[in-house]
Structure formats: structure tokens, C-alpha cells
Amino acid sequence: MSFSQLTHLECGRCGADHDSERPQNLCTKCGSPLLARYDLAAVRSSLDPAEFARRSPDLWRYHELLPVRNPESVTTLGEGMTPLLPMARYGERIGLPRLLMKDEGLIPTGSFKARGAAVGVSRAAELGVKRLAMPTNGNAGAAWSLYSARAGLTATIVMPVDAPEITRRECVAAGADLHLVDGLISDAGRMVGELVAASDGRVFDASTLKEPYRIEGKKTMGIEIVEQLGWRMPDVILYPTGGGVGLIGIHKALNELRELGWISGPPPRLVAVQAEGCAPIVRAFEAGERESRFWEGSQTVAFGINVPKPIGDFLILDALAETSGTAITVSDAELLAELREVAALEGAFVCPEGAAAFAAARKLRASGWIGADEQVVVLNTGAGLKYPGTVSVDAPILAVDAHLT
């Protein structure tokens, strides 16, 4: 059996087919994101999911459902198979005793962005890309810089000056061509677009959903959750949503697993969690709209979800509709309080985006949208250590001869 069963790329909006054997960005017919498609019949006829347990504990265990053709093209730092942890004490506090956390803070580079970078960089290198460029809110740029270095590629990264400081240091350490912009990720995206357009094909645009393979790395979160639950699905999955690639990817993974016959029954209800200061998806969902509108003046301490207009907004909204899911906002005050409570009750220092998802779980349980007996998975998308400013410290300073009582 082939290492990958990739067959072609398909436009997520108009359905047009595209060649998967050369670098691709958006659909040439309608300008929408492309999705990787696989020969699932071949996978179903030749692979038993029990085989995965005998493979390496990383996301590449699912290589038939990933786009890299040659195993020698895989660029890896050991990413994947993050723990699915019971949150019993915190869950009891908010009325969800079966609450679980998928902890992506333990993955290389400290965030789930490593999944998309591993697969996206591997496939880009396999297709002959030498230099890539991307806008970022921080963590994606750090991950793509480090994986590019490992693959021998050059990376140009543009991020807002307000992005978490550690992420720019990761880019510099990896030798990336880093630029800071006094604006938002949308401003960084414009600059990257201009660079790519003027490069005569020498620079590949690796922006969120402007290349088709980042989503394939992110979808492995969904496959892992199902495998870790014994090839069962939870009732609800909450995901902090900026660009929304992880939510789209999880939905794509579940659809593929269903077509393979490895899962059955109703899908988990997907929840897109956004900050009150930047909630284009929530606004569109509540209005019943097919796409989002640009969110003016966006601002939140959960910097990773500060995306005023995600390019894959229609795919996010489709995923919510098809799973009977919902979209919800939380305030910065709510998510910061939840960050402290999760750490105090569970010893887990989550990122502010993950804290937003925990705050949303509390609110949805209080409203009755989530039942007390339901199994709920919250995605913590990064390590809290990458955002030291979210927790203020006011500890007494003791003299060297002081005594504690």
C-alpha cells in the first residue's frame, strides 16, 4: 500500500479538482481554499485501524490519510499523540464530570501549530518549494520557522508587533526572515501577498488555508481523539477559533473516518469559541450568514484567536451547521479567570485560547446546551508558558534572615 493515498485537491466551495503534484494555493476558479482528497476505498480495504496502535506515537502513524508521498520527505520533531486528560476536579466544579482536555501545549514548539507546520513543510519540500512566507499571530510563525529550518527551507515571517514575544524569539533562533508590523494579522497578510506576487514564483504563500496541507496536520487532532476514546466519538468538542483550521480539520477527519466505516453514530457537536473583542464567526453564526464580515477594531488577550476575517469562514460555519454545533463568545476577564481556575484545580497552565474554551464549556453547561452526563473535549491549543503576561505576580520579597510562619 502507498505511504499516502492522496489523489487530488478539491475546492471547498465550488468543488473544482486541482493537481496535487505541484504547489497550489487557492482555487483558480473561485479563489477558495483547497482540500486534500484520498482514495478512502483503498485505505478501507487494506488497513485495520487497530494497526495504528503498533505504529510510532506521533501524527505520522496516520500516513495513509496524510499528503506526503515519500516517507523520506517527512519532516518531524515528534509531533502528535498529545494526551487526552480527565479534568475531574474542574469538571465537577462546572457540572461536567466527564470533561476531557486534549493538551496541545505538550507538542513541539509549544502549540498545536506544529501539526500544520510538520505536514505543510514536509509536503512543500517534497514539491520543491525552497522559500515560503506567511503572516502569523505568533505561534504558527514560530512553528513554520522551526520546521522549515529542519527541512532546509527559508521562511519569511510577518507578525504583529503585539504578538507573544517568545514566538519572535523562536523565529529568530530558527534563522527565519522575521518582520514585525504595527497592525493586525490582516495587515501582515497583505504584505506577504505583495511579496509573493512580486516573487515570480520564488516565494510560496503558506498563509492559513492559502496552502492545502496545514489542515491535514491539524485534522490529526480529530483522529487522535477518536482513537484515544477507543474509536468512539465524544458528545461535544470545543475549539478556540481564529482562522479555524483546527476546527475545519477535526470536522474533515471525522467525515473521513465515517466514510472509512471506522466510526458511526451522530458526530460530536462542534463549538467555535471566540473572544468578545473579535467574534466574526459568532456574529455570522447568530445571523445565519454563510460567510463572516471583517471585525473592526479587533482586540483580545487571546492573541491566537484575534483574526478579524478568516479565509475559511464558510468552512467553519458549515462544520457547525453539519454537526448541530454552536458559536459562543467569552470576555477576556472570563477567560483569564478560567485560566487561573484550571491551573489551581488541575495543575494545567493552559494558554489563553484554551482558557477561552474552558470558559465557554462553563457557560454552555450553565445554559443547558451541554448536558451534565455528556462527554466533552476541550482543546487547549498551546502552553501557558508562552504567555507569561496573562498571570500577574504580587508575591512578598523576604529578607535573607526572614522566617515563614
Instruction: Measure the CA–CA gap between 206 and 224, rounded to whole angstroms.
Output: 25
Where in the sequence is the domain holding 282, given as residue range(s)? 84-111+213-386
Q: Give 345's contacts (C-beta < 8 A, 6+ positions apart).
A: 89, 90, 93
Is residue 236 in some structural domain?
yes
Report yes or no on 302 lying in a domain.
yes
Q: What is the pLDDT of residues 242-256, one digit of tens each?
A: 999 999 999 999 999
Q: How far apart are CA 345 and CA 85, in angstroms?
A: 13
In a domain, 183, yes or no: no
- Residues with Cβ within 8 Å of 341's Cβ and at least 6 positions away in sequence, in order, are 90, 93
pLDDT at 249: 98
Compute CA 295 distance to the chain's CA centroid, rounded to the nearest angstrom.
Answer: 20
Residue 203: inside a domain: no
Q: Answer yes or no: is 16 within a domain.
A: no
Give the angle subtended at the CA of 291 by the CAs of 287 and 295, to the nearest 5°: 80
34 inside domain: no
Q: Is the pLDDT of residue 145 over 90?
A: yes
Q: What pLDDT is stored for residue 1 in this prediction?
A: 72
Average pLDDT, the chain: 97
Cell numbers of 29, please? 476558479
Nearest to 140 by CA among 224, 39, 226, 215: 215
CB contact set of 161 (below 8 Å; sequence gap of 6+): 180, 181, 182
pLDDT interval class at 367 (50, 70, 90) = very high
Q: What percent of the chain has pLDDT over 70?
A: 100
Q: Is the pLDDT of residue 157 over 90?
A: yes
What is the CATH number for 307? 3.40.50.1100
60, part of any domain? no
Residues 180, 157: Cα–Cα separation, whole Å: 8
Quick: pLDDT tens for 3-37. Answer: 999 999 999 999 999 999 999 999 999 999 999 99
Residue 101 contacts residue 380 (beta carbons within 8 Å) = yes
403 burial level (CB within 10 Å; 0-12, 13-18, 19+): exposed
pLDDT over 80 (residue 82): yes
Residue type, 196: V
Check residue 103 and give left, alpha or beta (phi > 0: left; psi -120 to 50: alpha).
beta
pTM greater than 0.85: yes
Are the C-beta atoms of residues 82 and 104 closer than 8 Å to each other? yes
Separation CA 67–CA 58 (nearest Å): 16
| 58/243 Cα distance (integer angstroms) | 24
Q: In what order do the strands lie in the sheet with 6-11?
A: 17-18, 6-11, 34-38
Total of domains in the chain:
1
| Structural domain includes residue 266 | yes
First CA to last CA distance, the chain: 68
